[in-house]
Amino acid sequence: MPIHPTAIIDPSSEIDPTATVGPYALIGPRVTVGPGTEIMGHAFIDKDTTIGKDCRVFPFASLGADPQDMKYAGERSSLVVGDGVTVRESATIHRGTKGGGGITTIGDKALIMATVHVAHDCRIGREVILSSYAVLAGHVIVEDNAIISGSSAVHQFVRLGRYSFVGGMTGAAKDVPPFMIVAGVRDKDIVVTPNLIGLRRWGFSKESLEAIVGAHKIIHNHRPLAEVLAEADAAFPDSGEVKAITSFYRGSERGVYR
C-alpha cells in the first residue's frame, strides 16, 4: 500500500502515486513528494517542503520545521530537497527565513546521516555527505561533493568549498577552501592539507593534484594573502582547480583557513 492508513497527510499536500508513506508518518500543508520517494514510518514533514524523486526519509527525521532563529516571525519560507537524497534517522532540516532568502536547499544525491542538523537558509550542494552528529548553523553553504565528518560543527555563514573534507569533531568558524581537508578543535588548532585521497577517488588527474598541492604550498604561509594568491595564479595559469581556490579566497567574507 503506497500510503499507510495510519499516516496523516494534509489535504493541501501532493504525494506522487509512486511514492510511499509509512505508518504514523505526518505530512503537513503544502508539501510535495516526488516519484519513487519513500517516507518511512514516524517521519515528520512540515509545511512548504518539496522533496524530489527517489529520496528516502527514515524514521523520526524532521524536515521543514520552523527555523530556530529569534528573528523568525512566522513568514512563509520553504525547504527544497533534490533528487536521490537520503535523510537518516532523527536528522533535522529547517526551512529558511526572510533574512536568508526564505529557502533551505539540499542538492541531489546528498546523504544526511542520522542525527545531523541543518539549520535555516543553508545551501547544500550535490553529493554532499553530512556524517552523524554534524551540525550546521544558519546560512552555511556546502558546495558539491564536500564531506563533513561526525560530531563536527560549522559556524553560521561559513562556506565549504567543493570536494573539501572537514575532519571529525572539528569546529569550523572560517571558510574551508575547495579540495582541502581541515581538522581541529577551533581556529588555533586547525590543520589544512590537500584532500588527496578523496580527490583520487573522484578521478582527478595527476596534473590537477600536482597543481592543487603546488598552490597550497604557495598560499599556506604568513605572507600577505593578495601576494600569494597572485603567485599561485601565475604559477598554474592553466589550472581550473587553482583558479577555483584563489577565487574562493578572494570571495570570502569570513576569511579562509590557511
List C-alpha distances in Å: 243 to 7, 73, 199, 228, 231: 50, 41, 17, 13, 12
Q: 209 in helix, strand or coil?
A: helix
- Annotated active-site residue in 52, 96, 100, 138: 138
Please tell me which residue in 34, 83, 107, 120 is annotated as part of the active site.
Answer: 120
Catalytic pick from 52, 121, 161, 175?
121
Beta-strand (E) ranges in 22-132?
26-27, 32-33, 38-39, 44-45, 49-51, 56-57, 62-65, 78-81, 86-87, 92-94, 103-106, 111-112, 117-118, 123-124, 129-130
Residue 150 among the catalytic residues: no
Please give the biggest Cα pair distance in the chain. 65
Q: Is 121 an active-site residue?
A: yes
Residues contacting 55, CB < 8 A, separation 6+: 34, 37, 38, 81, 83, 84, 85, 86, 87
3-state SS track over 214-252: HHHHHHCCCCCHHHHHHHHHHHCCCCHHHHHHHHHHHHC
Assess whether 66 carries a catalytic annotation. Answer: no
Catalytic (active-site) positions: 120-121, 138
